[in-house]
Amino acid sequence: MDFSDNDFLAEQLKKGNDRAYMFLLSHYHRRLCAYAQTLINDHSQAEDIVQNVFLKTWRSRKKLDSYFSVQSFLYKSVYNEFLSTYRKNRAVTLLEKKYMESLYQIVENTDDAAIAKMIELVKKEVQRLPPKCKHVFSLSKEDGLTNIEIAECLHISIKTVEAQITKAFKILRKELDDKYEMILFLMFSNSKL
């Protein structure tokens, strides 16, 4: 079997031929890692990007067209995966940096009993939110539902969900000072503030 022929390789991948996939790995893995590393300048992240590309290629192999260049497809996929990773990491890094610096200052200058007291105060304030506002906020921050999921669950518009969450944070910010806002972030760190 001549997997070096692009059309044959694409066709065999489409059929789920394991040997074609192994050829893909052995033939392109090192080159794609080198390319990914030029983009991200981090060996382990480059490896992760390439691994994700190979996994996605295998999962969506039935969509491959034999008239597309497999090599070009892989390189474009690595680039797209890099962009996706970069955007996620950049957004998370900026948000984490801002809050982690503030949290560090709070934790350094506050004893455990005072932090526990702050957490209790935040919980009380969340319970005092207007009923609809509290329900939407809880679904978002405690249950981790997306705004779309909340809208579908409650049969309301996404705009209404966003408005209720914004309202909740406005009330909480008014009632709590900056320290408590950081504790609020800590308590609900699995979701966006």
Residue 160's domain comprises 111-187
Please check whether residues 67 and 127 belong to one and the same domain. no
Burial code (b: 16+ CB inside 10 Å, e: under 16) for 133-165 equals bbebbbbbbeeebebeebbeebeeeeebbeebb
Query: With a threshold of 0.75, does the pTM exceed it?
Result: no
Position 96 in a domain:
no
Please check whether residues 34 and 79 belong to one and the same domain. yes
Give the tens place of pLDDT for each residue, 44-53. Answer: 888 999 999 9
DSSP H stretches of helix in 15-130: 18-40, 43-59, 70-108, 112-127
pLDDT of residue 142: 75
Please check whether residues 83 and 119 belong to one and the same domain. no
Q: What is the CATH number of the domain that holds 46?
A: 1.10.1740.10
Q: What is the CATH number of the domain that holds 170?
A: 1.10.10.10
Position 192 in a domain:
no
| Contact (CB, 8 A) for 145 and 176 | no
Please check whether residues 12 and 85 belong to one and the same domain. yes
- Binned at pLDDT 50, 70 and 90, residue 105 comes out as low
Position 98 in a domain:
no
Distance CA 53, CA 73 (A): 10
Position 105 in a domain:
no
Position 154 in a domain:
yes
Give the tens place of pLDDT for each residue, 123-167. Answer: 888 899 999 999 998 888 877 788 888 998 899 999 999 999 889
Please check whether residues 45 and 78 belong to one and the same domain. yes
**Domains held by the chain: number:** 2
Please check whether residues 65 and 120 belong to one and the same domain. no
Please check whether residues 75 and 133 belong to one and the same domain. no
Instruction: Give the chain's radius of gyration (CA, Å).
Output: 24
Distance CA 13, CA 37 (A): 26
Please check whether residues 35 and 77 belong to one and the same domain. yes
Give the tens place of pLDDT for each residue, 24-41. Answer: 899 889 889 888 888 777
Please check whether residues 77 and 41 belong to one and the same domain. yes
Position 106 in a domain:
no
Position 97 in a domain:
no
pLDDT of residue 159: 93
